[in-house]
Amino acid sequence: MSVLIRLAEDRDIPEMATLRAQVWETAAFWVERIGLYLRGEHSPQLALRERVAFVAVDAGRIVGFVAGHRTHRHACDGELQWINVDEKLRKRGIAGMLMAAVASWFVQQQALRICVNVAPENAAAREFYAKYGALQLNDHWMIWEDVRVVSSFVEKKLQKKPRLHVPEST
Ligand X SMILES: CC(C)(COP(=O)(O)OP(=O)(O)OC[C@H]1O[C@@H](n2cnc3c(N)ncnc32)[C@H](O)[C@@H]1OP(=O)(O)O)[C@@H](O)C(=O)NCCC(=O)NCCS
DSSP-based three-state secondary structure for 54: strand
Q: Which stretch binds ligand X (CB under 6 A): 30-38, 67-75, 80-88, 145-153?
A: 80-88
Q: Minimum distance between the CB of residue 53 and ligand X, rounded to whole angstroms?
A: 14
Region 131-170 residues binding ligand X, contact defined as CB under 6 A = 131
Q: Minimum distance between the CB of residue 67 and ligand X, rounded to whole angstroms?
A: 11
How far is CA 108 from each of CA 47, 88, 103, rounded to the nearest angstrom? 17, 32, 9
Contact 70, 17 (CB under 8 A): no
Q: Is 93 one of the binding residues for ligand X (CB under 6 A)? A: yes
Residues 6 or more apart from 106 whose CB is under 8 A from it?
68, 77, 78, 112, 114, 147
Q: Is 73 one of the binding residues for ligand X (CB under 6 A)? A: no
Q: Which stretch binds ligand X (CB under 6 A): 41-49, 68-76, 86-94, 103-111?
A: 86-94
Q: Is 38 one of the binding residues for ligand X (CB under 6 A)? A: no
